[in-house]
Amino acid sequence: QKEVEQNSGPLSVPEGAIASLNCTYSDRGSQSFFWYRQYSGKSPELIMSIYSNGDKEDGRFTAQLNKASQYVSLLIRDSQPSDSATYLCAVIPSGGGADGLTFGKGTHLIIQP
Amino acid sequence: EAQVTQNPRYLITVTGKKLTVTCSQNMNHEYMSWYRQDPGLGLRQIYYSMNVEVTDKGDVPEGYKVSRKEKRNFPLILESPSPNQTSLYFCASSFRGTAYGYTFGSGTRLTVV
C-alpha cells in the first residue's frame, strides 16, 4: 500500500510567521511531489511541484524534498490569514503514475491575525 | 480560460435513481480522473482514463461507471445511488499523464437520501 502521511492538525501559526507543513511517503520510488491548497468546500489548487532533492521557491512558498528520508515539506513565509486552508501533499508513486496521484489527508492550517 | 467544468455543483437525489455528473475540460488533456472526498478519508480515486476509450478502476470504483467517448468529456454515472455515496466529488485532468499534477473541477456535492 503506497501511503502519504500528513499531520491533520490544526496547525496554528501567528500572522507574519513561517508555517511549516510536513509530509512523508512510503513508496521509495516515488517520482514527483505536489502541494495543493484547499479552502473549505472548494476544489484543490496546485501551488507547488517539486521533482528533485533540495529546495524550490515560488514567492512566499518553498517546497523541500529529501528522497533519502522520504520527506517533503512546504514552508509559507510571512503567513497571511488568507493562507488558512487545508494543504494536501500528493505524490506520483513508482510506476509512472498511470493510476493517478496518491494524496495525503491534508493538514489544516490556521493563521491567527 | 483553461478549466475543468463539472455539473451540477449540488445535487440531492433519492436512493436508486440513476444520475450522471458531467465533467468537461478545454485543455486537450489526455488524462482525466474522478475522486471523492470524505471527512477523515481524504481524496480517493474512483476511476481514471488515460485517453479516449481507455478507462480503469481506481481505489473505490464500486457503484460507479464512467465512459470516455470524447477527449474532453468524462462523465461519472451512478446507476443506483445509495446513501454511502453521499460525498464531495471532484473531476481532474492532467497533461501528459500525471507528471504535471492535476487541474481540478469545482466539485459536485452529492446527497443521496
Interchain contact, A43 vs B43, CB within 8 Å: no
Please list the alpha-helical segments (H only) found in chain A.
none
Asked if the model's pLDDT at residue B99 lies above 70, the reply is no
Q: Which residues of B touch chain A, with CB atoms under 8 Å apart?
A: 33, 40-43, 45, 48, 50, 56, 58, 88, 90, 97-107, 109
Strand residues in chain A grouped as ranges (E): 4-5, 11-14, 19-25, 32-38, 45-50, 54-58, 61-66, 71-76, 85-92, 102-103, 107-112
Tell me, what's the pLDDT at B98? Answer: 64
pLDDT at residue A31, as a whole number: 83
What's the rounded Cα separation, in Å, for the pair B7 and B5? 7
> What is the distance in angstroms between the Cα of A37 and the nearest Cα belonging to chain B?
12
Q: Residue A2 region, left (φ>0) first, then alpha (ψ -120 to 50), else beta?
A: beta
Q: What is the pLDDT of residues B45-98, one digit of tens each?
A: 999 999 999 999 998 999 999 999 999 999 999 999 999 999 999 999 998 666
User: Chunked in runs of 10, what are the mean pLDDT values of chain A (113 residues)?
Assistant: 88 97 94 94 94 96 97 98 97 74 94 95
Q: How far is Cα B71 from Cα B42, in angstroms, rounded to an integer?
A: 27
Q: For residue A93, which of A83, A103, A84 has the smallest C-alpha distance?
A: A103
Residue B32, pLDDT score: 94
Q: Looking at beta carbons, which residues of chain A come within 8 Å of B48?
A: 99-100
